[in-house]
Structure formats: C-alpha cells, structure tokens
Amino acid sequence: MTIHAANPTTDDERDAWHLHESGLSWAQVGREIGCTESAARAFAVAYQQRTDAAADEAQISLF
C-alpha cells in the first residue's frame, strides 16, 4: 500500500474522482490508487472543490 503525504498530488485527486464517477465504490477506488477508502473520498472532494472554484473564476457574469 502506498502512503500518501498530507498534500496529495492532483493526479491522485483527479484519478479518485474519475474512478468513482465511472462507478467504482470508494473502497475500490482506494485499492486502485493505493490508499484508504476515506483518503480516496477526500482526494475526490478536493478535486471537485478545486475544479468548481476554477470554473467559478472563469465564469463570465451575466449581470
């Protein structure tokens, strides 16, 4: 099992999100990327928060 540092790479975050979106359970995602189920979930949440924030910044205000 791979031990991840406190600041995970964005690849782990992106991979966790994509794997879960493709239908894998959090336990399966964790096994796939080499971490715990809760770490996989945290990676995916971090990825979604970061990409949502980037999209919000790029959004043109209509009003």
- Tens of pLDDT, residue by residue over 10-22, are 799 999 999 999 9
The Cα 7–Cα 26 span in angstroms is 20
Angle, to 10 degrees, between the axis of helix 26-33 and the axis of helix 10-21?
A: 140
In the predicted model, what is the mean pLDDT of the chain? 85
Sign of CA dihedral 24, 16, 54, 6: positive
Q: What is the pLDDT of residue 45?
A: 95
User: Letter for the amino acid at 59?
Assistant: Q
Give backbone dihedrals phi and psi of 54, rounded to 5 degrees, phi first.
-65, -40
